[in-house]
Structure 1
Amino acid sequence: MFTVPIIDISPYADPASTPAQRAEVARQLDEAATNVGFMQVVGHGIAQESIDRLTAALDAFYDLPLEVKKNYARQGENRGYSPPKSESLSMSLGVAAANQMNDFYEAFTVGSEGSWYEVDELPVVSYPTNTWPDDTVEQFRPAIEHWFTQTRHLSRILLHAFTDALGLPAGYFDDLTDHSIDALKMNNYTLPEGEIELAGELTGMGAHTDFGILTVLWADRVPGLQVLDRTGMWHDVQPEEGALIVNLGDAMARWTNDRWLSTMHRVDPPVVDGRIIRRRSAAFFFDGNFDAVIETLPGCSGTDRPGYPPITIAENINAKLAGMKQGVAPRDAEREAQRLATAQSAR
């Protein structure tokens, strides 16, 4: 039976924990990453107060009229507001939807800025400045910045645990993540009646894999998230009380040559009597340095399964974003696209 395991990662957050306790957590993470690519983590140390601040900020912003929210849209950069039906996640795999830009959700994205790091000549396309609706939603920025800091810290704890789980030397990924492209994408699946046409096939968020190293997801405990298993079947996943969902992205799958899974997932929010039940989520993407090269880790390739061709973090992300936002199919996405094609034929 398909399950997303619940893992208590507190030994990695507690300096007083023993090596044996951390080793057991690493074993569980390796098992989940190998078999599912998704896990639910507890013992993460993020308080309910932080979640309450996050959700209040999201509600305040998304309750604004659509035309007001559009004032914070950004063209050509993965920052600011994205209106409904302006993106297609399945195109990040080169798989077009029937109506290409058909993903129903609206989103607001913030992320790492170049000024945060003492590194010369960071490309603006990877580290743009953020857009903030300070004049419209007073408490939005402090709440979101607080959540960003919390999940960023958690991501580095998880990377430490993943390093141990892969049997790599301590700090193996440090030089690949010291000026990481991190992003927080906050999604909303409900709009007031009349703001968008709901006729025709409705896609909440198209099937896709995440682009970077790992993702930390908070989501309402509402149906919608679906995960693809190895046999091509979709399964509903809802977060347990107090848990955050963690999944691996393309960078980790490429590093491990798919020993660990960058699992396909999508969102189909429930519709009752023609209305979408409210569903909110906030996905923190820990993506790595723009110039870090993703090459197969030692022991993860063989004559029967050669590794992926080398690619930088930025090249991979930019290709996927071009698909998602502009409908330009990325190169080297054949493995993921084939998995989605197989799943579609099996439905």
Structure 2
Amino acid sequence: MTKASSIASVSLAASETDPEGFARELGQSFERYGFAIIADHGIPADLIARAEEKAKAFFALPDAAKRAYHIPGGGGARGYTPFGIETAKGATEHDLKEFWHIGRALAEGHPFKAAMADNIWPSEVESFKTTFLELFAAFDKAGGRLLSAIARHLGLAPDFFEDTVRDGNSVMRLLHYPPVSPEASGVRAGAHEDINTITLLLGAEEAGLQLLDRDGEWLPVSPKEGELVVNIGDMLQRLTNNVLKSTSHRVVNPPPERRGHSRYSMPFFLHFRPDYLIETLPGCVSDERPNLYPEPITAHDFLMQRLREIKLV
């Protein structure tokens, strides 16, 4: 518990007043844990509350109404993914969750249209579309500020990541973990690493999220109300030759007194643009740290490879 409390809780506002200090503190937490906790992230509290209300309203719909928005063969990229489908890489039990995906809205004729599907929207929940497009934009802005600090930490120009994520294949997930029965054989989310560049998560105040520390110990991740949990994804791990590690994490089942309660959260998976070539940064390679990823790969090819592993395609 003591070690978990040392995961950096830093104010994103400090990135404006002390950009070097903020980047150093954030980078040190990422290098040690792969995670950080971010206060003053700029996503309005009233928008978060509105989004939580809309998500709960959708998940409360009858199963048949929700399943009408499931796209068979779509890999869960947009719309609804029912309970009992996603399975952590290497796991035998499916996760105990259902979710909804919202992606970037692209103009007609955009070159990334082939890789990024159109959004779909439920008609049953009023202002669902406007609320979540607004939240997507707010997540996107906060993510860009964090990437600027990560670039500083790596000794790169602060704007290094701007082009890498421009019109990137980012996805916002609305998650519902239903109440857990005593007979449940799986866990809410099995141990896994995220595929993307960085993940920004709202809603982790409800206990259950844990990270696997480098010492082999599972540590709770416990932000204060309204704070963001941010973690490194596999794409950034690969780009930085494991300087920034993508840490295994999971969502464990609640104690008996909380098993009758649902858990809701909203992660934003910030992605590189589909055609970005993930090629190890020269500054992250040395005699002591040889290149672990000598073969470059596009962000889209990497994503599809990983989606197959977790049984979404």
1:235-250 matched pairs, under 5 angstroms: 235-250=219-234
**Offset of residue 217 of structure 1:** 0.3
Counting aligned pairs with the same residue, the percent is 30
After superposition, the C-alpha distances for 1:77-112 in whole angstroms (9 at most, x for unaligned) are 211111111111x22xxx1x233xx11111000102
Matched, 1:173 2:133: no
Aligned pairs (5 A) from 1:1-347: 1-3=2-4, 4-12=7-15, 14=16, 17=17, 21-77=18-74, 78-88=77-87, 90-91=88-89, 95=90, 97-99=91-93, 102-115=94-107, 119-120=110-111, 122-124=112-114, 126-133=115-122, 135-190=123-178, 199-272=183-256, 275-303=259-287, 305-308=290-293, 309-326=295-312
> What is the SS of the residue equivalent to 1:263?
coil
1:335 aligns with none
How big is each residue's C-alpha offset from its partner over 1:153-203, in whole Å with a ceiling of 9 and x where there is no partner? 111111111111111023222332222111001100116x9xxx8744122
The CA distance in 2 between the partners of 1:86 and 1:312, in whole Å, is 26
Partner of 1:336: none
State the alpha-carbon separation in 2 of the partners of residues 274 and 175 from structure 1. Answer: 44
Which amino acid is the alignment partner of residue 11 of structure 2? D
Structure 1 CA distance for aligned equivalents of residues 184 and 12 of structure 2? 43
User: The residue matched to 2:282 in structure 1 has which SS?
Assistant: coil
Matched pairs, number:
306
TM-fit CA distance, 1:53: 0.6
**Structure 2: distance between partners of 1:244 and 1:271:** 24
Cα deviation code 1:214-245 (max 9, x no counterpart): 11100152111110111222112122133111
Distance (whole Å) between structure 2 residues aligned to residue 82 and residue 168 of structure 1: 38
Structure 1 residue 76 displacement after superposition: 2.5
- Partner of 1:163, secondary structure, is helix
| Residues 204 and 229, structure 2, Cα contact 8 Å, conserved in 1 | no
After superposition, the Cα gap between the structure-2 partners of 1:249 and 1:56, relative to the gap in structure 1 and judged at 3 Å, is same
| Alpha-carbon distance, 1:324 to partner | 1.8
Q: CA separation in 2, counterparts of 1:62 and 1:107?
A: 8
**Structure 1 residue 313 displacement after superposition:** 0.8
C-alpha distance after superposition, 1:278-301 (max 9, x if no partner): 211100011111011111112212
- Any unmatched runs of 5+ in structure 1? 328-347
Tell me which amino acid in the other structure corresponds to 2:121: W
Shift of 1:275: 3.6
Separation in 2, partners of 1:178, 1:115: 14
CA–CA distance in structure 2, aligned partners of residues 220 and 213 of structure 1: 19
- TM-score by length of structure 1 reads 0.83
Structure 2 residue ranges without an equivalent (≥5): none
Runs of 4+ in 1 over 3 A off after TM superposition: 197-200, 273-276, 302-305
Residues 256 and 201 (structure 1 numbering): CA distance in 2 closer, same or farther, change over 3 Å? same
CA distance in 2, matches of 1:79, 1:149: 17
